């Protein structure tokens, strides 16, 4: 409920009609312009510099703990294509798994919101599995499905499935009662209610779930790659192979690439989220 | 106004021996007990009474949102469920209940896209063909009339509370409902906004003649708006009195200064008090 309100308020702020930009679009231009002021970016920059110094000091004192930043940099630039290739493999696994988990969770969420019996059967299990660390079954999945991409997809899909299911189901069921009453008095059908009211109402919940599961899907893919000792591709494989050969710069370069990938994905979701909620606002005429 | 109201044989709303009990056993409360109410078409009827008197329950039963445990309910001669299926009922709830992702215009036109088979069903219900044939009014025009012309393409979140509630009223009127049910629609608004919305409600009602069932806890609001004020009392919820408000329309601000207006207010307050006292005794 509160999530939805915040999101819709955000959407409202971001999707103002162009006629009156001054009144409703204060938030975005302001937050963009704000980055010009040193008071906004300087603290972060100082903090990063301090951390880098600390890192370098640690690398000098304990060479087996941390690699020097310079070496990470050289590894990244020298073998940039290698990192990108492996990042794309991991990204592909995570994205495909996320897509599968998303589709299945969405369908099941709609079904449980419409069929109380199914809801009572499924949701308690979903809640328990949602708090279970599902990455732990990665080794078992490797045993079951081998070293190919399949166990990676399955683990990413499984990890994404439950948060999406629970959030979407909550969104579909949280339409305010008075809204439902208005549409009940005109005898709106189930499908009409789903399409025009419940699903759009659940969209902010769905995006909240996406923000949660995006990093999880990458974790799932990486852990599955690490568990499958016979894998040849993916950043998880790169990390486990490099660790076993004491190539710390490669390990940390891969981790850096994974972090950048996560940030980019989150950025993509934010953009899509704005677009989608904007779409709902602007389709009139 | 009075000349144009068609008085047909079947009342717009007809409740007979309606009873509704919530809960079971010793904790059961009788929300409505033996309620009879007949509203001729085109009338503006208010339900007034303290909380727990069953006025909202009565409204929900009339709108087909709840079933009575006993008794019969008819809307233009048919069951409420059938009336809903024919889109004969318009509901304005306490909150505007607008969809936050749709512009005001899309919000008020959405009901036209839903349950499209209703028009046919409505024609088939006797004595209704004429109304059904008029079709949906121009929603843009209606919004302009309600003072929402500028706000048409805005989202509900960009509107004030009063404007949102106006949009909810336009949405209900846009169905050209045979019966408009309103559940304390102005209770969350400030006094100024409330009075201007009362004016606009009367204007729209004047134009799109319909029967209104209006739940309120404000005596002056009831007198100002209604042809008939139904006074209710709790424990068990029941109708204790019916007051016909014989004041000419249109009812402008002038009315507040008139003696007769205050006489009606006093009369209804007196009836409400008497209901309280009889309960205490």
CA of B58 vs chain A CAs: smallest distance (Å): 15
Ranking A31-45, A112-126, B189-203, B247-261 by mean pLDDT, the lowest is: A31-45
Pick the CATH number of A70-282 from 3.40.50.300, 3.40.980.10, 3.20.20.370, 1.10.3720.10: 1.10.3720.10
A15, A186, A200: residue with CB nearest B111: A186
Between CA B1 and CA A279 the distance in angstroms is 44
Between CA A70 and CA B34 the distance in angstroms is 87
B97, B101, B113: residue with CB nearest A280: B101
Q: Which domains does chain B have, with CATH numbers?
A: 2-280 (3.40.50.300)
The token duo for A51 is 């951390």
Burial of A46: CB neighbours in 10 Å, binned 0-12, 13-18, 19+: exposed
Which positions in chain A touch B121 (Cβ < 8 Å)?
none
ipTM comes to 0.90
Share of chain B above pLDDT 90, in %: 57
Which positions in chain A touch B99 (Cβ < 8 Å)?
179, 196-197, 200-201
Chain A, window 111-140: residues with a beta carbon less than 8 angstroms from a chain B beta carbon: none
Interface contact A192, partner B, CB < 8 A? yes
Structure confidence by residue, pLDDT tens digits, A224-261: 898 887 778 899 999 999 989 989 999 999 999 999 99
Q: Do A181 and B157 touch (CB under 8 A)?
A: no
Share of chain B above pLDDT 70, in %: 92
Q: Beginning with the edge strand found earlier in the chain, give each strand of the sheet holding B29-39 in spatial order.
A: B29-39, B13-22, B70-75
Which positions in chain B touch A182 (Cβ < 8 Å)?
91, 93, 97, 171
Q: Do A187 and B115 touch (CB under 8 A)?
A: yes
Where are chain A's structural domains?
A: 1-66, 70-282
Which positions in chain A touch B81 (Cβ < 8 Å)?
187
Find the Cα–Cα–Cα–Cα dihedral B260, B261, B266, B268, rounded to 10°. Answer: 110
Residue A3: its pLDDT value, please? Answer: 43
> pLDDT tens string for chain A (285 positions)?
344 444 444 344 333 333 333 334 444 445 556 677 888 889 999 999 999 999 999 998 888 888 999 899 999 999 999 999 999 999 999 999 999 999 999 999 999 999 999 999 999 999 898 888 888 888 888 888 888 888 889 999 999 999 999 999 999 999 999 999 999 999 999 999 999 999 999 998 998 899 899 999 999 999 989 888 777 889 999 999 998 998 999 999 999 999 999 999 989 888 888 878 665 443 333
CA of B90 vs chain A CAs: smallest distance (Å): 7
Q: What is the mean pLDDT of chain B?
A: 87
Residue of A100, A126, A130, A190 lying closest to A118 (CA atoms): A126
* Chain A residue whose CA is closest to B98: A179
Which positions in chain B touch A179 (Cβ < 8 Å)?
97, 99
CA of B17 vs chain A CAs: smallest distance (Å): 23
Question: Could you give phi then psi for residue A230, rounded to 5 degrees?
Answer: -90, 0
Q: Do B99 and A200 touch (CB under 8 A)?
A: yes
The token duo for A179 is 């809204």
Residue B133: its pLDDT value, please? Answer: 54
User: How much is the average pLDDT of B144-162?
Assistant: 90
């Amino acid at each position: 409920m509160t999530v939805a309100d915040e999101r819709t308020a955000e959407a409202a702020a971001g999707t103002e009609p162009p006629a009156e930009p001054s009144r409703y679009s204060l938030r975005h231009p302001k937050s963009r312009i704000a980055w010009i002021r040193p008071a906004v970016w300087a603290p972060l920059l100082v903090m990063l510099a301090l951390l880098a110094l600390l890192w370098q000091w640690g690398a000098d004192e304990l060479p087996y703990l941390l690699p020097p930043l310079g070496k990470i940099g050289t590894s990244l630039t020298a073998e940039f294509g290698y990192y990108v290739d492996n990042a794309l493999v991991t990204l592909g696994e995570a994205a495909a798994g996320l897509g599968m988990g998303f589709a299945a969770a969405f369908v099941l969420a709609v079904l449980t919101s419409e069929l109380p019996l199914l809801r009572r059967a499924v949701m308690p299990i979903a809640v328990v599995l949602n708090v279970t660390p599902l990455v732990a079954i990665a080794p078992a999945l490797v045993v079951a499905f081998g070293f190919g991409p399949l166990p990676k997809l399955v683990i990413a899909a499984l990890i994404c499935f439950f948060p999406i299911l629970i959030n979407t189901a909550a969104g579909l069921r949280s339409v305010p009662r008075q809204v439902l009453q208005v549409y009940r008095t005109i005898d709106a059908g189930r499908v009409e209610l789903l399409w025009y009211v419940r699903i759009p109402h659940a969209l902010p919940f769905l995006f909240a779930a996406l923000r949660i599961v995006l990093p999880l899907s990458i974790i799932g893919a990486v852990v599955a790659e690490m568990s499958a000792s016979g894998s040849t591709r993916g950043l998880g494989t790169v990390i486990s192979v490099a660790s076993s050969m004491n190539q710390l710069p490669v390990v940390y370069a891969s981790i850096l690439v994974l972090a950048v990938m996560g940030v980019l994905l989150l950025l993509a979701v934010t953009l899509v989220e704005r677009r989608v909620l904007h779409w709902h606002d602007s389709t009139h005429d | 106004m009075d000349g144009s109201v068609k008085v047909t044989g079947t009342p717009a709303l007809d409740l007979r021996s309606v009873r509704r009990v919530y809960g079971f056993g010793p904790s059961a409360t009788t929300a409505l007990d033996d309620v009879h109410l007949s509203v001729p078409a085109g009338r503006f009827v208010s339900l007034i009474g303290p909380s727990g008197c069953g006025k909202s329950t009565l409204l929900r039963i009339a709108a087909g949102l709840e079933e009575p445990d006993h008794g019969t309910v008819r809307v233009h001669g048919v069951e409420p469920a059938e009336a809903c299926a024919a889109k004969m009922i318009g509901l304005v709830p306490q909150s505007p209940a607008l969809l936050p992702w749709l512009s005001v215009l899309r919000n008020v036109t959405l009901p036209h896209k839903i349950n499209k088979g209703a028009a046919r069903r409505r024609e088939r219900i006797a004595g209704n063909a004429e109304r059904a044939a008029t079709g949906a009014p121009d929603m843009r025009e209606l919004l302009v009339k309600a003072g929402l012309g500028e706000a048409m393409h805005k989202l509900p979140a960009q509107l004030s509370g009063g404007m949102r509630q106006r949009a909810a009223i336009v949405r209900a009127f846009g169905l050209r409902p045979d019966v408009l049910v309103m559940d304390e629609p102005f209770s969350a608004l400030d006094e100024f906004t409330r009075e201007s919305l009362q004016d606009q409600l009367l204007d729209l009602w004047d134009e799109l003649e319909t029967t209104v069932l209006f739940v309120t806890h404000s005596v002056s609001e009831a007198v100002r708006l209604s042809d008939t004020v139904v006074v209710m009392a709790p424990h068990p919820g029941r109708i204790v009195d019916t007051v016909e408000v014989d004041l000419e329309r249109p009812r402008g601000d002038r009315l507040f200064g008139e003696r007769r207006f205050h006489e009606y207010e006093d009369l209804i307050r007196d009836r409400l008090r008497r209901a309280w006292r009889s309960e205490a005794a």
